[in-house]
Amino acid sequence: AQSVTQLDSQVPVFEEAPVELRCNYSSSVSVYLFWYVQYPNQGLQLLLKYLSGSTLVKGINGFEAEFNKSQTSFHLRKPSVHISDTAEYFCAVTTPHGSSNTGKLIFGQGTTLQVKP
Partner 1 sequence: GAVVSQHPSRVICKSGTSVKIECRSLDFQATTMFWYRQFPKQSLMLMATSNEGSKATYEQGVEKDKFLINHASLTLSTLTVTSAHPEDSSFYICSAELPLAGVGETQYFGPGTRLLVL
Report if residue 67 touches partner 1, rule: CB under 8 A: no
Asked if 107 touches partner 1 (CB under 8 A), the answer is yes
Q: Which stretch binds partner 1 (CB under 8 A): 12-20, 28-36, 65-73, 74-82?
A: 28-36
Nearer to partner 1, 43 or 117 (CB): 43
Spatial separation of the C-alpha atoms in residues 93 and 4, rounded to whole Å: 7
**Least distance (Å) from partner 1 to the CB of residue 13?**
20
* Interaction between residue 45 and partner 1 (CB under 8 A): yes
In the set 21, 25, 27, 36, which binds partner 1 (CB under 8 A)?
36
Cα distance between the two ends of the chain: 41
User: Which residues contribute to the site for partner 1 (CB under 8 A)?
Assistant: 32, 34, 36, 41-46, 49, 51-52, 90, 94, 96-97, 102-105, 107-110
